[in-house]
Amino acid sequence: MKQFLLLFTLLISAVSIQAQENLPTDYLSKEFHKGRREAFRNLMPANSVAVVFSYPERVFSKDVNYNYHQNPDMYYLTGYKEPDAVLLIFKELQGTADAYNEVLFVRERNASREIWTGTRLGIEGAKSKLGFTTVYNGKDFKDFAIDFKKFDKIIYDKTPTDLESNQSDFDLFGLLQSFKTKAGITRDDKTSLESFTNITNSLRQIKTPEEMDLMRKTVKLSCVAHNEVMKAVGPDMSENEAEGIHAYIHRKYGAEGEGYPPIVGVGANGCILHYGENNSTKMNNQLLLMDVGSEYHGYSADVTRTIPANGKFSEEQKAIYQLVYDAQEEVFKICKEGTPIQDLNTKSKEVIAAGLIKLGIIKDPKDVRIYYPHGCSHFLGLDVHDKGNYMGTLKENMILTVEPGIYIPANSKCDKKWWNIGVRIEDDIAIKKDSYENLSAESPRKWEDVEKMAAQKSTFNEMKFPKI
C-alpha cells in the first residue's frame, strides 16, 4: 500500500510538472501583488485587520461548474486564482518571535482531486510563486489563534449569502462561518464595508505600469477582433458567427476569454443595451452593434463598434453614427487630469441632445434620455465596470470608457426612417496629465474608415467547412 501511495504521489508530481510547462510569462508578478498589499495596508486605520475572501464556485449544469473566476480584489492583492481561500492583512505586525502582517489560507493539496480538476498551489506554491511567508491550509482557519475583537476596525467586503456547505469547515461557506463566529458578526457592518470599498476604489482606479501593459494588450487584441469582423461581415452572416470570430481572435492572442458576455446585435437587437442572445441568423442590410472585449490575465477590454452589414452606411445610419462620433470627439477633448468625471456624461448628453433636435428626432433636450439612456463612461480594469470614485476627478493613469450611443427601436415617436438604428462607439481611454491615450485607436471609428476596413478581404471568408 505504501508503495502504491508513493507511486501515486510521484505520478501526480510528474503530471503537475508537465501541466505547468509553456505557461505565459507576462502574468502580474508576485512583487506587484505584494506592492498592492502594502498600498492597501498604508490606507488602513491603526489597529485594524482586513479580511478578503475568494469568490465561490458556481454550478453550470448539474455536477459541472462554470470556469472559475477569482474575486478581483483577492487576485489583485495575492495573485491567487483558486477558490476556498481567505486573506488577512494587518495594519501592524502580529506575534513576537515569528512576527507577520499578513496570512493567506489556501486550498489544501489533494492528489486524487487534482487528477480531475488540476494542480493546486497549496502552501508551498503560495510561498514560492506568490511570495507569501505565512500560509496555512483553509482547514486551519477555524482554529487559527486570532482575536478579531481586539481590533478597532475589521475591514471586509459584502459576503455572499447564497452559499451551500460541503459539510467541511474550509469551503467558502465554512470559512465565512468561522470568520463571523470569531469576529462576533451577525450581519454585515456598514462602516466595514464602506472602508473596504473606499480603499479598493482608491487603489484600483489608478493603474500601475504592469497593469497598463496588460490593459494595452487586452484592448489591442480586442481591436484586432473587431477589425476582422468588419472585414468578414456580410448580409448573410449570423450574430453567432460574428461573436465566434471575436472569440477565436481573443484566444489566438492568448486571452482567457471575454471580460463580459458579448453583445452582438443587428438591427433591432442593437437597440437592446445588454442584448445577449446573439442568435439572429442573418444581418441583411442593417447595422451590427458589437460590444465585445477580451479578458487577458484578468484585465478586461471594453470596445464597441457599429458597422453596416453590407459594408456601406445608409444616409440615416450615417447621420446617427456621425452624431455619436461627434459626441465622442467632444468628450475626448476634456479627457485629462482634473476634469470632474461627471462632466464626461454631461458633455456627451449635450452633444447628442443638440444633434437629435437638429435631426427632428426630439424637440426637448431632456428627451435625450429616451434614445441615450446610459452613462458615457465607467472605470475599466480587473472588472469591466471597475472600481473607482465616480464623484471625483480624472487622475493620471485612470482608464475609463467613452461610449455615447443612440438607440431608436421600432415604434419610437419619430420618423420611421430612423427605426431600428442602434449605434454605440466605445473606446478605452488612459488619462494623462494634459491629455489622453486612446488604447483602442487601432480599430477604426470614422464612418469612412469603417467602410474602408469592411472593403478588405477576410481570411475567415476564405475558410471552407462541410455542410451539416
The yes-or-no answer on residue 302 being catalytic is yes
The yes-or-no answer on residue 374 being catalytic is yes
CA distance 238 to 423: 18
Instruction: Look at the chain and count its residues.
Output: 468
The yes-or-no answer on residue 385 being catalytic is yes
Catalytic residue (one of 228, 258, 291, 427):
291
Q: 3-class SS at 315?
A: helix
CA distance 168 to 370: 52
Q: Which helix (H) or strand (E) holds 349?
A: helix 342-358
Catalytic residue (one of 63, 98, 162, 364):
63
Q: What DSSP designation does 379 have?
A: B
Are the C-beta atoms of 272 and 265 separated by less than 8 Å? yes
CA distance 261 to 295: 11
Tell me the three cell numbers of residue 145.
Answer: 489563534
The yes-or-no answer on residue 63 being catalytic is yes
Q: What is the largest CA-CA distance in the chain?
A: 84
Catalytic residue (one of 73, 407, 427, 436):
407
Q: What is the Cα Rg of the chain in Å?
A: 25
The yes-or-no answer on residue 147 being catalytic is no
Catalytic residue (one of 426, 427, 436, 445):
426
Alpha-carbon dihedral of residues 78, 82, 88, 94, nearest 10 degrees? -80
Catalytic residue (one of 124, 274, 415, 448):
274
**CA pseudo-torsion sign 33, 35, 36, 38:** positive
Catalytic residue (one of 302, 383, 386, 427):
302
CA distance 178 to 184: 10
Cα 266 to Cα 51, 315, 440: the distances in Å are 45, 17, 22
Please report where in the chains the cell 493567506 appears, as a residue. Answer: 104
Catalytic residue (one of 210, 256, 374, 390):
374
Catalytic residue (one of 84, 403, 427, 428):
403
Please report where in the chains the cell 501526480 appears, as a residue. Answer: 12
Catalytic residue (one of 316, 385, 437, 442):
385
Q: What is the 3-state secondary structure (H, E, C) of 421-441?
A: EEEECEEEEEECCCCEEECCC
Tell me the three cell numbers of residue 264.
Answer: 452582438
Are the C-beta atoms of 302 and 428 separated by less than 8 Å? yes
Catalytic residue (one of 37, 107, 250, 378):
378
Residues designated catalytic: 63, 274, 291, 302, 374, 378, 385, 403, 407, 424, 426
